[in-house]
Amino acid sequence: MDETLQFLNLIENIITEEIEKEEQENAGKEEEPEKTVDEKRKDLTLNGYKYSFGFR
């Protein structure tokens, strides 16, 4: 039982470290503003052809 708890604690520590690393890496980055509907529509155009997926 103790070995299982030690193993679970080890996994929890590894996950916590990875989350903290990711948060530190993302802390310096500026988040991109969410695109508007028009910008999303522009992304769906290719060579002047507009692709419609049933949303407006």
Helix ranges, the chain (H): 2-27, 37-43
Q: What integer pLDDT is reported at residue 25 of this predicted model?
A: 83
pTM of the full predicted structure?
A: 0.47
- Based on the number of CB atoms within 10 Å of its own CB, is 41 exposed (0-12), middle (13-18) or buried (19 or more)? middle
Domain spans of the chain?
2-50
Q: What integer pLDDT is reported at residue 43 of this predicted model?
A: 63
Q: Token pair of 5, please?
A: 């708890």
Q: Token pair of 2, please?
A: 């103790």
Tokens 């769906």: give the residue.
Answer: 44
**pLDDT tens digits for range 1-56:** 799 999 999 999 999 999 999 888 887 776 667 777 777 666 665 555 555 555 54
Q: What integer pLDDT is reported at residue 37 of this predicted model?
A: 73
